[in-house]
Every structure is written in C-alpha cells, then in structure tokens.
Copies of this chain bind each other. A is one copy, B any other.
Amino acid sequence: MSYFPSSLENLIDKLASLPGIGQKTAQRLAFHILALSDIEAEAFAGAITDAKRQVHTCRVCQNLTDAEVCTVCENPRRDTTTVCVVSDPKAVLAIERGHEYHGVYHVLHGVISPMNHISPDDLKIRELVARVAEGGVSEVILATNPDTEGEATARYISRLIAPFGAKVTRLAYGIPVGSSLEFTDDATLMRAIAGRLDY
C-alpha cells in the first residue's frame, strides 16, 4: 500500500524512470516540483511537451534543431566543403565550444554497436553518403569517439564514402583513448582537430 496520493506516486515513478535517478532522488525532485508555483510547474510540463514537439533533426546535417535547417547549416560563413561526422549532438556542442572549427557537421545519432543491436541502418549514415555523393564535399572528418565502437563506425563510413573522392580524415590522437568527446577539454579537442590525419 502506498501512502502518497496516486498522482504524486505517478510523478515519482516517472522521475525514477530517468537514467541515474533512484527512488529517493525521485521523491526529492517530486516534492520540489510540488513546491513550485502553479505557473512554474506548468512551465516545467510545457518545456517537456515543447521540446518533444519542436525538436527534430536538421534536413542537412541531422543535428537537432527546431527550425528546418540548424543554426550551423544556415550560417553562410560556415565552410560547407568540410563535413565533421560526429555520433551525437553533444559532440557538436563540444566542438563548437572551441570556436576554431568552421566547417559543417553530420550527426549520426549513435554508433554501430552489434551488442546493443544498433546497425548502420539505425544511424544517419545513408544521409551522409547521399550528401557526399551529391558533390561539393572536399573533406570528411570522422570525429566519432575514440573507442572501439566509434573506431568501427569511422572505418565503416570511410569505406562507404571512399569512392566519391573526398579526402577522409580522422581526429588526431590527442584525445585520450577510451574517453568521450563530450568530456574532453577544449584545448585537447582543438589539438585533435588541428592535427587530424589522413584516414
């Protein structure tokens, strides 16, 4: 038997379903939300609905956006001949923080991972190949994470796009092996971009 009202129990359950949030933390968060003003609570619920409704992938690079084309792709000062391929939007954020990369991106939304049943068809690889095949791309920087799955994904993609004649490079091993782009400091990340190698 539960001693919290059912709608409160429901909110606690929903919060506890989030990654890394246990039952105790979910309770604490739920009580915090109950203590918000009506307007704040509505805004919170609205933020979830809005994000879910408005956020979709950019027609060009597959990054998340709420417009048809993302802010990077619609920026006329970005060099569209260089495409940096990353696994997810957080990696774009990490590279943009360095303010030194002026090309565009392609977001795969994952890496090939047989263990997790993620095949190339589950990723935005087809869109990347189409983009390169269309022409106008002189260099593709493979910037997946420097771990086994990221490497395998990079290798898979490099083979697919080799026929189209664009130069294919990989981030330099300035990045500590086994880590994640998201948590790499800006200086290391910039070194890795500057020292990128033929792949």
Contact = CB atoms under 8 A, between A and B. Distances in A.
Given A4-B89, A29-B19, A51 B65 contact: no
Given A3-B96, A44-B14, A64-B5, A28 B34 contact: no
Interface string A84-110: 000011101100100000000000000
A179 interface: no
Nearest to A95: B3
Specify how many copies of this chain sit in the oligomer.
Answer: 2
B65 A5 contact: yes
Given A14-B43, A34-B55, A5 B66 contact: yes
A123 B157 CA distance: 63
A136 interface: no
A7 B50 contact: yes
Interface string A1-12: 001111110110
A51 B11 contact: yes
A66 B7 contact: yes
B14 A47 contact: yes
A59 B49 CA distance: 33
Interface of A: 3-8, 10-11, 13-14, 18-21, 25, 27-34, 36, 38, 41-55, 64-67, 70-72, 88-90, 92-93, 96
